[in-house]
Structure 1
Amino acid sequence: MNEQNLEAIMGLIIHGGDAKSSAMEALQAAKEGDFATADEKIKQAETALNEAHHSQTGLLTQEAQGNHMEVTLLTVHSQDHLMTSIAFTDLAKEIIDVYKKIG
């Protein structure tokens, strides 16, 4: 695996993890009724997901150009990490909306 691909894969893992952490912090803030912090943390999660998508787009672009890469467990893990973070952030937004309506 070349260094550029490894950096992109690590970007998926790092930014996906950052997104999930921010979304979890957003949920905790909403649970405590601090919706301003919750909204800010969700924005941070979305920014991290955007960064992860940039890493993913680089890998997809290379693949589309015929530069096939070896798929390793690390590659699969990075994609799984990103997908989980996206789903968690989406769910966090919905739960925060419920907290807002209850509060």
Structure 2
Amino acid sequence: MDEKNLQMIMGLIMHSGDAKSYAMEAIQAAKTNDFAAAEVSLNEAKESLIKAHQSQTEMLTKEAQGDPIEVTLLTVHSQDHLMTSISFTDLAKEMVDLYKVINGR
């Protein structure tokens, strides 16, 4: 695997992992009724997912142009990270909203 492909894959893993971490921070903030911090963390998660999607788009564009990336365990792992982070961030948004309802906000 060449350096450019490895950078795209690692970018996908890194930004997806960041998104999941920010989503967890949002849940933890909501648990302590710090909804301002929860919203900041959710916005950070969203920005990280945008960056992850940009890495994925680079990979897809490269393949569409006839230069596919070799599918390795690392490639599959990067896609798994992205999908997990998207689901986790969506769930975190719902949990923050639920904590708001529970606390009458």
Q: Determine if the TM-score, normalized by the shorter chain, exceeds 0.5.
A: yes
Query: For residue 17 of structure 1, what is the aligned residue in structure 2?
Result: 17
CA offsets 1:32-64 (integer angstroms, 9 cap, x no match): 100000000000000000000000000000000
Q: Which residue identity does 2:70 align to in structure 1? A: E
1:98 corresponds in structure 2 to 98
Separation (CA, whole Å) in 2 of partners of 1:61 and 1:29: 38
Aligned residues: 103
Shift of 1:77: 0.2
- The normalised TM-score by structure 1 is 0.98
Once the two structures are superposed, the pairs formed by residues 57-76 of structure 1 within 5 Å of their partners are 57-76=57-76
1:55 aligns to 2:55 (yes or no): yes
Q: In 2, distance between residues paired with 1:70 and 1:22?
A: 30
Q: Distance in 1 between matches of 2:69 and 2:55?
A: 14
* Unaligned 5+ runs, structure 1: none
Aligned-residue identity in percent: 66
Q: Using the alignment, how far apart are the partners of 1:86 and 1:20 within structure 2?
A: 8
Letter in 1 for 2:74: L
Name the CA distance, whole Å, in 1 between partners of 2:57 and 2:70: 16
> Could you list the runs of 5+ residues in structure 2 that have no partner in the other structure?
none
Task: Show the counterpart of 2:40.
Answer: 40
CA RMSD of aligned residues (A): 0.5
- Measured after TM superposition, the shift of residue 22 of structure 1 is 0.4
